[in-house]
């Protein structure tokens, strides 16, 4: 009946196992698939990521040069990043932070048919990069 006693007493008198998150955070492991990062600069809107994504959460519009992702439906599998021929996609080591509202990743790029240095200044300014609140919200 006393078989657990040793373990209990050892626990009692030794260092606790608890990591005091969020006060104490540890370094994430390298190569952890966290939040999806998108570099609109590199993207060629080839749609491969959209085709590969098992969760079907990426929408690429080749003509309008937009790239959108329902980040709240992403399952962090990393397939898109593996697929992307241009290295436009990567994963941060941490997950996307918790949120009170759902939102979408939405990027407006420019078509890079001729990879010239033409109109480089306009592009970043025009791109309303980042997140926009998703139109349909919780039916409260």
Partner 1 sequence: MQAFEIGLNPATFGWLLVGLLVAPVAGGLIAGVDRILTAKCQSRVGPPLLQPFYDAAKLWGKETKVSNVWIAFCSWMYFTAAATSCVMFFLQSDLLIIFFVQAVGAVFLVIGALSVPSPYSQIGGQRELLQIMAYEPLLILVFVGIFLATGSFNISAVYAMDKPLMLESGVVPMVLLFVVLGYALTIKLRKSPFDISGSHHAHQEIVRGVFTEYSGRYLALVEVAHWYEVVLVLGVVALFWATSWYAIVILLVLTYAAEILVDNITARLSWRAMLGKLWASGLALSFVSLAWLYAF
Partner 2 sequence: MPRTVVPFGPQHPVLPEPIHLTLHCEDEIIKEAVPAIGYVHRGLEKLAEIRDHNQMVQVVERVCGICSMIHAAAYCAAVEQILGIKPPPRAEYLRVVWSELHRMHSHLLWLGLYADAFGFESLFMHFWRIRERIMDVMEATAGNRVIISVNVVGGVRRDLTPEQQKWVLSEVDWVEKEVARLKDVMMNDYTVKKRTVGVGILSKEQALELGAAGPMLRGSGVAQDMRMTGYHAYGELGFEPVVETDGDSYARSNVRFREVLAAVDLVRQAMAKLPDSELATAYKGRPKGEAVMRVEQPRGELLYYVKSSGGKYLDRVRIRTPTFANIPPLCAVLPGLELADIPVVVLSMDPCISCTER
Partner 3 sequence: MLDSFIKKSRIKSPWLLHFDCGSCNGCDIETLACLTPLYDVERFGIINVGNPKHADILLVTGCVNHRNKHVLKTIYDQMPEPKVVVAIGACGLTGGVFRDAYNVVGGVDKVIPVDVYVPGCPGKPEAIIDGVVEALGKLSEKQNAAAAAVAAE
Distance CA 132, CA 125 (A): 16
Would you count residue 37 as binding partner 3 (CB under 8 A)?
no
Would you count residue 83 as binding ligand SF4 (CB under 6 A)?
yes
Distance CA 126, CA 53 (A): 27
Would you count residue 105 as binding ligand SF4 (CB under 6 A)?
no
Region of 7-15, 16-24, 73-81, 94-102 interacting with ligand SF4 (CB under 6 A): 73-81
Q: Is 8 helix (H, G, I), strand (E, B) or coil?
A: helix
Residue 99 touches which of partner 1, partner 3, partner 2, none (Cβ within 5-8 Å per kind): partner 3
Would you count residue 54 as binding partner 3 (CB under 8 A)?
yes
- Among positions 29-68, residues that touch partner 1 (CB under 8 A) are none
Residue 30 touches which of partner 3, partner 1, ligand SF4, none (Cβ within 5-8 Å per kind): none
**Between 76 and 110, whose beta carbon lies closer to partner 3?**
76
Distance CA 38, CA 53 (A): 14
Distance CA 19, CA 33 (A): 22
Residue 136 DSSP one-character state = S
Answer yes or no: are the C-beta atoms of 91 and 81 closer than 8 Å.
yes
């Amino acid at each position: 009946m006393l078989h657990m006693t040793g373990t209990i007493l050892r626990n009692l008198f030794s260092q606790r196992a608890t990591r005091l998150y969020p006060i104490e955070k540890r370094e994430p492991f390298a190569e952890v698939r966290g939040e999806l990062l998108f570099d609109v600069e590199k993207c060629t809107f080839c749609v491969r990521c959209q085709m590969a994504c098992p969760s079907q959460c990426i929408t690429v519009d080749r003509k309008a040069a937009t790239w959108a992702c329902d980040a709240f439906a992403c399952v962090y599998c990393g397939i898109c990043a593996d697929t992307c021929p241009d290295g436009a996609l990567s994963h941060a080591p941490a997950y996307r932070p918790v949120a009170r509202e759902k939102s979408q990743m939405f990027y407006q790029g420019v078509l890079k048919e001729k990879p010239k240095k033409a109109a480089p200044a306009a592009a970043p300014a025009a791109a309303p990069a980042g997140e926009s609140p998703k139109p349909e919200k919780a039916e409260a």
